[in-house]
Amino acid sequence: MKFFVDTAEITEIRELNDAGLVDGVTTNPSLIAKSGRDIVEVTKEICALVDGPVSAEVTAVDYAGMMREAAVLAKIADNVCIKLPLTLDGLKACKAIVSDGRQTNVTLCFSANQALLAAKAGATFVSPFIGRIDDIGWDGMDLIGEMRRIYDNYGFATQILAASIRTVNHVKDAALIGADAATIPPGVLRQLVKHPLTDKGLDSFLADWARSGQKIG
């Protein structure tokens, strides 16, 4: 499973990228606004920092506006992935942008039918929002499973990018079902390494080593 980090904070991205945990980055208008920085400036910095795709989202809701904004975003760097809403205009823009050789990430996916349409439009990635589905009392993992079966049935190349990740179990369950990637908040990504038995074992090893009086080097 590919790990994308879901943030526009450069310090967070750099730290996780240096640890070898980042295959890409996703941003959205809310994350850009939270960063307090200009979208072109911060996206350019992120693209220079990581090798993988960096999702930058259009804010227009009509096809012409999406294409105009996509052209601006595409000029930032070769690894910019144009993020588009899962609407008819968004799907039309997706088809056109993919035809021009750019990667796309179709976002705000909440149903298997929507995911099927995104794949037919040629999306590079489609982002089902697991956490938001859980919020309304449904199971977001059911959607991941339905998408996996549909994509496998027809050999679609579109990658399932599990989004709206809230917990470490979201990551685990998405991986078990077969999501191609997950976009994960930095805090949740760091939590993946945590286990009380790891901490306990390390404390025990260090205590035994201290009693031995030895040093390495």
Catalytic annotation, residues: 83
CA–CA separation, 93 and 57 (whole Å): 12
Buried b / exposed e along 51-78 (16+ C-beta atoms within 10 A): ebbbbbbbebeebeebbebbeebbebee
The two tokens of residue 164 are: 């709206």
Total residue count of the chain as it appears in this document: 217
**Among the listed residues 73, 111, 68, the one whose alpha carbon sits nearest the alpha carbon of residue 89:** 68
Tell me how crowded residue 170 is: count the other CB atoms within 10 A of its CB.
23
Alpha helices (H) in the chain, listed in sequence order: 10-18, 29-35, 39-49, 63-74, 88-99, 112-120, 130-135, 140-154, 168-177, 186-191, 196-212
